[in-house]
Amino acid sequence: MKNDYLIQKKPLSALVLFSVPIIVGNLFQQFYTMADSAIVGRFVSEQALAAVGASYALTNIFICVAIGGGIGASVIVSRYFGAKEYENMKSAVFTALLSFLAVSIVLGGIGLLLGRQIMVVLNTPADVLDLSVQYLNIYFLGLPFLFMYNVLSAMFNALGKSRIPLYFLIFSSVFNVILDVVFVTQFGMGVAGVAWATLIAQGISAVLSFFVFLKELRKMCGQEQTNEHGQDEKSCRKAKYNGKIFDKEEMWAMMRVAVPSIFQQSTVSIGMMLVQSVVNSFGSEALAGFSAAMRIESICVVPMAGIGNAVSSYTAQNLGAGKQERVVEGYHAANRMVIACAVLIAVVLETAHRPIITLFLGGGGTETALATGVGYLKFMGWFFCLIGFKMAVDGLLRGAGDMKMFTIANLVNLSVRVIVAVTMAPRFGIAMVWIAVPIGWFLNWAISFMEYRTGKWRKTMEQKE
């Protein structure tokens, strides 16, 4: 079967083939929020940029919940796919979609009710508070589409079809930018315009992804269907699915992986939100520069997260196929990929930090905003290898279902970042906010790596079976 290359090709080739579409797709997903910031920063005002930036820490948590939930579901789906248990795989897919649809509706309602109170607690500057809440309210309306798209993307990846979500992301990103420009420059909708543009573009992409995914599922026959209808694609399409649409046991199995995955994916965003009040206390100008730099950081993290997510599916499929040694080989290959990406990121940020920040602030940006953004990027450029190594080993543990130390490691990461930023920034300046970041990344990697070295992850699959 041509989609089983994660358990057949050489580890480095398999991971590159699988991760590149994920990385490119995630870059386009970041392009959504980056375009929102750049357009309002250049065509509306610095306060509008600060408002979107102030909302980013909160909205990114919801994005991470969706991504983490999708990853948790994809681990289960990947195992079934690797073992060729297609009926169980389809049951897991339908269970995941229904479960996270319900989660998205609940979270969207909570966001609409408490969005303003959360922004007040985070000490959002008064001159950007109303704009931030306006952006958030529209964002929360589109939360079901966000969840649907990200869970479906994870499902495509679990089946080895990482190119399909990439195509939809390219479409929706380009469409989003076009709508941004039209709504902001032609209709004068400001912050609300970029929020509506994102909702519309992502909604269309999610619905189209759903129908394409159903088409892909119909091509896969379970054992009972194979006996009755044969193995060709036409027979599979005609075969009736007799499995469960919702399975509680599958749901809890997914949640055991998804909850720590959500926490891991959210660590950066939760940390951002918790230290947001520290940044906000320095005023809207510093917040604008910080927001611009955070957009760039989120882009730099994308290849590292993509590699980690690829390792997760790679590990799950190979363990499902009984190929443990390929997991170790894949982990070493992933670390080589991390080093290559980290070198490229360091070169770009150390040589072009000022024009990158200016892209967001425009020619009228204040010196405080510019200095804050430049200071962040110049420092962080040297440390992205740390989050790459962390993501790779975390991906292996997650794919193996070894979640205990994985969760502890990410909790340490979050705690260190928050404690250092909150206690040190008011005394020594805003730079302490970003100095805390690589410290947390390193400790996270060290704990997860020690767990990997114990070899417990090899036994996790056997225990579950």
Q: Are 260 and 312 in contact (CB under 8 A)?
A: no
Write out pLDDT tens, residues 315-328: 888 887 788 888 99
Write out pLDDT tens, residues 374-387: 888 889 999 999 99
pLDDT (average), residues 97-111 = 88
Residue 67 has pLDDT above 80, yes or no: no
Higher pLDDT: 134 or 79? It is 134
Write out pLDDT tens, residues 288-306: 788 788 878 888 988 998 8
Q: Which residues contact 463 (CB under 8 A, 6 or more apart)?
A: none
State the Cα–Cα distance between residues 189 and 182, nearest whole angstrom. 9
Per-residue confidence (pLDDT) for residue 363, from 0 to 100: 61
State the Cα–Cα distance between residues 93 and 388, nearest whole angstrom. 29
User: Residue 451: which domain range?
Assistant: 5-464
Count of structural domains, the chain: 1
Residue identified by tokens 């760039």 is 296
Q: Left (φ > 0), alpha (ψ -120 to 50) or beta: where does 190 sit?
A: left
Which amino acid does the sequence have at 177? V
What is the DSSP code (8-state) at residue 77? H
State the Cα–Cα distance between residues 56 and 272, nearest whole angstrom. 9
Q: What is the rounded radius of gyration, in angstroms, for the C-alpha atoms of the chain?
A: 22
Q: How far apart are the first and last CA of the chain?
A: 24
Residue 237 has pLDDT above 60, yes or no: no
Determine which of 33-37, 127-131, 205-209, 307-311 has the lowest per-residue pLDDT on average.
33-37
* Residue 271: pLDDT band with limits 50, 70, 90: low
Residue 236 has pLDDT above 70, yes or no: no
Residue 71 has pLDDT above 80, yes or no: no
Determine which of 24-28, 96-100, 268-272, 404-408 has the lowest per-residue pLDDT on average.
268-272
